[in-house]
Structure 1
Amino acid sequence: MVLDRRTLLAAAAMAGLPIAGLRSARATVPAGVTAATLPEHSLGDPNAKVVVQEWFSLTCTHCAHFSQIVFPEIKAKLIDTGKIRYTFHDYPLDQVALAAAMIADSLPEDRYLPFIEALFASQDRWAFDRSADPMAMLRQNALLAGMPGGAADAALHDDALRRAIIERQDQATRQYNITGTPCFVFNQTVQANVPDYASFARYAAEAGAA
């Protein structure tokens, strides 16, 4: 399921995420951030011949499976060995995923990946447990990640950050024809079906990973 920018903004407002409001100094997001100036989250050799983009939603169960089951092998065999550079890109499918992405982007860079991995590992509890408040759970996870009290609310009130994430998502939809998550781009080749490490390694090799 893909939501356009207008739908996401409306859903965010209905969920109680103000469209305009607080600002605070944060480690990774500059004031007045735009789609072009969003921080890039990446791992691996910056000079690697192959750059792989992953477009994911933090409330996508397929993305959670990939993060927990497939990605560790990719990191060990392709990223840590310098064969590819791996970049992470938000593609929120609902307002909860958008809120999670806003908090993740507001963390110091060294806490970004541990935070999203923790969210994927506990996705069933914070995103899909009907007895829980997902926003309260996100704030709790942010606190555990070292985000001081009030900073998560400041991130969630940052209209520029919200619009930047959604605008970059819109750009990716147009450029790569993304229709669901996770979606991968190996250099400029889009692969929507990457179920396991073997498939990922094959696409990486076809893109030029030695």
Structure 2
Amino acid sequence: MKRMIAIAAVAAFGAGGAYLFMSQNSTVQTPGTVQAASIVEVAQSDIAEMVMGAEDAPVTIVEYASFTCPHCATFHNGTFEQIKKNYVDTGKVRFVYREVYFDRFGLWASMVARCGGETRFFGIADMLYDQQRDWLGTGDPVQIADALRTIGRTAGMTSVQVNECMEDTAKAEALFGWYEANAQRDNIRATPSFVINGENYSNMDYAQFARVLDEKLAN
């Protein structure tokens, strides 16, 4: 399982490709060592929570995941489908997805997913996980930026819409600050990680998830 790092950087896309804003004195820190002054102060209401399921469901799962994390892709392409079918779609579980940014590519992918708004987010997230190896490719930033643009257009957005979202540096900074605040508050150090009715859990297979969810539902 990948260890999570808080990178002191904010990523955005320029018209000619991808670039990274970074302080010359920035350092790599774990969530436990990030100083309060380094966190961008972002009101929780400024960033939309991506949620599926009944608002009044008795159990809430908050998943912390990165679009560049292979374990997250495996979870979403397998275990999550069963959780959605048996718990979310039946009104038992409210599912909240919160992005984690290991790297600039994960932030870029998040910006593209959020570009489609709340109604398209999970559909684009599915595409990002299904095609993770393809759009990450060789790791070349320009190629990754182009691949993410293609995913955005495939999801029904115009090139202008996708580029406007990609070039929104203020949104990138806000998302990064929101991520850091979430990670510190919930003590998230790896992906995928889960907070189920306020309790932290590491990655599990479906059988383990079902046991935990059934216990929560019984209480």
> TM-score normalised by the shorter chain: which range applies?
0.7 to 0.9
Q: Which residue of 1 aligns with 2:158?
A: 148
Q: Return the TM-score normalized by structure 2.
A: 0.80
Corresponding position: 1:78 with 2:80: no
Higher strand share: 2
Q: Spell out, residue by residue over 1:41-69, the C-alpha distance to the aligned partner (whole angstroms, 9 max, x if none).
A: 11111001111111110000000000001
Q: Which runs of 5+ in 2 are unaligned?
A: 23-41
Corresponding position: 1:56 with 2:65: yes
Q: Quick one: distance in 1 between partners of 2:66 and 2:162?
A: 19
Q: For 1:86, what is the secondary structure of its paired residue?
A: strand
Distance 1:164 1:202, change over 3 A: farther
Q: Quick one: distance in 1 between partners of 2:76 and 2:151?
A: 18
Q: Return the TM-score normalized by structure 1.
A: 0.83
Q: For 2:71, what is the secondary structure of its paired residue?
A: helix
Q: Root-mean-square deviation (CA), in Å?
A: 2.4
Q: Quick one: distance in 2 between partners of 1:171 and 1:121?
A: 28
Q: For 1:146, what is the secondary structure of its paired residue?
A: coil
Corresponding position: 1:174 with 2:178: no
Q: Quick one: distance in 2 between partners of 1:40 and 1:69?
A: 23
Q: Quick one: distance in 2 between partners of 1:155 and 1:127?
A: 19
Q: Which runs of 5+ in 1 are unaligned?
A: 20-32
Corresponding position: 1:4 with 2:6: yes
Q: Identity percentage over the alignment?
A: 30
Count residues with an aligned counterpart.
194
Q: Quick one: distance in 2 between partners of 1:207 and 1:172?
A: 23
Distance 1:148 1:12, change over 3 A: closer
Q: Quick one: distance in 2 between partners of 1:2 and 1:35?
A: 21
Q: For 2:91, what is the secondary structure of its paired residue?
A: coil
Contact in 1 for aligned 2:61/2:94 (Cα 8 Å): yes
Contact in 1 for aligned 2:7/2:102 (Cα 8 Å): no
